[in-house]
Amino acid sequence: MKDPNWRKCILRGDSKDIIKRIPDNSIDFILTDPPYNLGQHSTGNIPLPGRSAMNNDVAEWDMIDFNPEEWADEFIRILKPTGNLFIFTSYNQLGRWYNCLDHKFDTSNFMVWHKTNPAPKIFKAGFLNSCEMIFTCWNKKHTWNFISQSEMHNFIESPICMRPERLSDPKHPAQKPVAILKKMIEIATNKNDIIFDPFMGVGSMGVAALSLDRRFIGVEIDENYFNAAKKRIDTILQTNPYSQQVSNPDRYNTSDNEVNSSIVCDVAVSYNTAFCELEEFFNAKETIMRDSQNTPTGLQPIIKWPGGKEKELKYILPNLPKFNRYFEPFVGGGSVFMAVQASEYYINDFSSELVLLYNYIATSDKSFFRYVELIDKSWNNALKFFNKNKILVDLYLQYRNEKISKEELKSHICQFCKDKKNDILNIIGKSFFSHTCILLKEMETNLFRKMQRMRELEIKKHVLPDSDLLDNIETAIKSAVYMNYRHLYNDASITKCDKALHCALFFFMRNYAYSGMFRYSSKGDFNVPYGGIAYNSKLMSKKLNYYRSMPLLSHFADTHIYNLDFEVFLREMQLSESDFVFLDPPYDSEFSTYAQNAFSKADHERLANFMINECKAKWMLIIKNTDFIYDLYNKEGINIRTFDKEYLVSFMNRNDKKVTHLLITNY
């Protein structure tokens, strides 16, 4: 909306059409109660001895065939990476929601709403219908506000909606109690988050959302329900402090005859006007920003990078000063850059590959995205190849059961690769045929090594379960594909002549190399192996969708990207007292080369000298505690605090398992 303090947008129309107008990655929480398709099972009136018959009908709208499969992709598209999705459902729909959503999210689960006063069964011929299911799903780093273990049960209990809350005109058979909706909203959202309900009914979701100072977008096709929802929601706004911030009620008074609907978007407006306003809100930078700079944007890092600061955001964000422009001379994976809010962003890194990736994302470069999509397709092709060639499993079983020797196993694998040459090459596709290919050789080598290693482990420990056996052979195939792309990444001719392909390969390596490490041989070739089984099901399409999302592109619209030495960058920026610099340089250790760019003690001294003696801006430095670093910054006017961090990966013992980190500021 033009008014950044908008609270609600409620529309009457077909939500299947309306949802298409909502931008990607823009909704914090989808909380909805779609049709259950139980109407067809209604038995009509139930005769009761000595009293009026009980109506067992649901509603006419529940007779319509509702297909979860038609809604799942749009729900995923509009939901933020940090968002949650809760869907009230029934036994006959739960499996369908699971099938179309479970594989698209990091986690899916369900809640049970136990109704303490369900409709009775007079004849005691079966169970009471006292429970409803709520299908839930989310990704890592989703919003989750539990404060105690007792709150974490996937079970919620309350009476069904009763008078005076329950409406009698119009009567909605599935009206939910506001109390349980508020509980879910408190758990899954923060203040000012946007909650979307495409099946609004009489507006209970909106009432719950607005009473908790959230924003609400609701859609309802039935005119009677819509009018009831509008009345209830308007009443909430009148009693809520935010009602004073709602737009002028006389600003719009038009109607859209073409869509024959009554639309409300803080006020009565036309269908098209409402969405112009809504889209303007989603595009407006000042309304994307939250109330304060130490509230995270919800945006994820751009890429996995050594020393990434995602886990340290809980220390960084609360300690940010007030500032206008944001500067980061060692941007790396962008954990802090993407999380912080500012009027403008100036980011820099000495890695030309990384900076090229940032530029391609910022400009939505078509060649880069096309190459990544082709590589991603080959990853899927590798799985298809494995599924069509389960003969490899039989071959291993023969080796396990000593029906063939190691030498015979190697010979069989060699013959298999010759027979399947075209199928193996088709994994990567024709787009890469013009480049040198080592896929056949790597397929043969990886299959043999993996099967040999599997047998050695089985002899030492135990026979692998069938699922592990399958995972290991799939890993061998995908490792061969990885090795072929690693070979292309090290190809100097590609680096020089096709920067978009080289950047796509760099992006692939960052996603699939073991633990995201970057290590180079004495010849300068990248030589980290494939990440293994845990990476088999990983696809880059989800990351590409994130790179194309409106919140991310809006963030980059205010970003300036540089590839300079850190001191050159800082001097060229002409920093002022209203600016802020975040510093995350390589650590003071022998292992301080990220992507072949060394950072010496002399560089640390240059950095400390400039920040302490010349920098006018406020700044924060996060770094591992060593005597050298501590002495550099233990100066008058500099504040030093410590925190501990657990390292997930120890590479050749170059990192201690547990170290104390420093948070250093000049304010």
Q: What percent of the chain lies above the pLDDT cut of 70?
A: 82
Share of the chain above pLDDT 90, in %: 58
In degrees and rounded to multiples of 5, residue 514 shows phi and psi of -55, 120
Per-residue confidence at 243, pLDDT binned at 50, 70, 90? very low
Q: Euclidean distance between the first and final Cα of the chain, in Å?
A: 37
Find out whether 647 and 655 touch, Cβ atoms under 8 Å: yes
Please report the pLDDT score of residue 254 as a whole number.
Answer: 29
Take residue 138 and report the two structure tokens written for it.
Answer: 């989310």
**3.40.50.150, 3.30.70.20, 3.40.50.10800, 3.10.150.10: which CATH number matches 8-288?**
3.40.50.150
Q: Which residues, listed in sequence order, are joined to residue 27 by a DSSP beta bridge? A: 79
- pLDDT of 236 over the 60 cut: yes
Gyration radius of the chain's alpha carbons:
29
Q: What is the pLDDT of residue 38?
A: 61
* Whole-number pLDDT of residue 342: 94
Helices and strands of the chain, counted as H and E runs: 24, 21
Give the C-alpha separation, 475 to 479, whole Å.
6
Three-state DSSP at 199 gives coil
What does DSSP assign to residue 660? E
Q: Give the model's pLDDT for residue 653.
A: 39
Least confident of 100-114, 249-263, 313-327, 390-404: 249-263
How far apart (Å, rounded) are the C-alpha atoms in residues 469 and 471?
5
Q: Do 503 and 357 form a contact (C-beta atoms < 8 A)?
A: yes
Contacting residues for 540 by C-beta, under 8 A, at least 6 apart: 372, 375, 376, 379, 507, 508, 511
Q: Which amino acid is at 148?
A: S
According to the model, what pLDDT value does residue 249 have? 31
Kindly report, residue by residue over 548-596, the tens digit of the pLDDT.
999 999 999 999 999 999 999 999 999 999 999 999 999 865 444 445 5
Distance (Å) of CA 175 to CA 217, 345, 385, 513: 18, 46, 50, 51
Separation CA 449–CA 454 (nearest Å): 9
SS percent in the chain: helix, strand, coil, step 5: 45, 15, 40
Using CB atoms within 10 Å of the CB of residue 311, give its burial: 0 to 12 exposed, 13 to 18 middle, 19+ buried.
exposed
**Tell me, what's the pLDDT at 251?**
29
pLDDT one-digit tens code per residue, 60-72? 545 567 889 999 9
Q: 């056996």: which residue's tokens?
A: 469
**All structural domains of the chain with their residue ranges:** 8-288, 313-352+548-665, 366-543
pLDDT, averaged across the chain: 84
Q: Half-sphere exposure (CA, 13 Å, Cβ side) for 317?
A: 21
Whether 111 and 31 have beta carbons less than 8 Å apart is answered as: no
State how far the alpha carbon of 385 is from the alpha carbons of 105, 255, 357, 415, 473, in Å.
25, 56, 30, 16, 11
Q: State pLDDT tens for residues 414-471.
A: 999 999 999 999 999 988 888 999 999 999 999 999 999 999 999 998 999 999 999 9
Nearest to 297 by CA among 247, 348, 349, 338: 338
Among candidates 234, 170, 184, 243, which has minimal Cα distance to 213? 243
Confidence (pLDDT) at 244: 39
> Above 50 in pLDDT, residue 206?
yes
pLDDT in tens, 164-196: 888 888 888 889 999 999 999 999 999 889 999
In this structure, what are the phi and psi dihedrals at residue 269, rounded to the nearest 5 degrees? Answer: -140, 170
Tell me whether the CATH fold assigned to 8-288 matches the one assigned to 313-352+548-665. yes
The pTM score is: 0.59
**324 to each of 136, 278, 317, 396, 665, how far by Cα in Å?**
38, 27, 15, 62, 17
The stretch 500-507 carries a mean pLDDT of: 97
Q: Would you say residue 9 has pLDDT above 80? A: yes
Spell out the residues 6+ positions from residue 245 whose beta carbon is closer than 8 angstroms to its own. 3, 5, 7
Classify domain 313-352+548-665 at the CATH class level: alpha beta
CA distances, 469 to each of 395, 463, 466 (Å): 12, 9, 5
Lowest mean pLDDT: which of 304-313, 383-392, 404-413, 433-442?
304-313
Answer for the pair 346, 328: CB distance below 8 angstroms, yes or no: yes
Cα(665)–Cα(657) distance, rounded to whole angstroms? 26
**367 has a pLDDT exceeding 90:** yes
Read off the pLDDT of residues 250-285 as tens digits, 9 standing for 90 and up. Answer: 322 223 333 333 334 443 344 455 556 556 556 543
Residues forming beta bridges with residue 326, ordered by sequence position: 345, 580
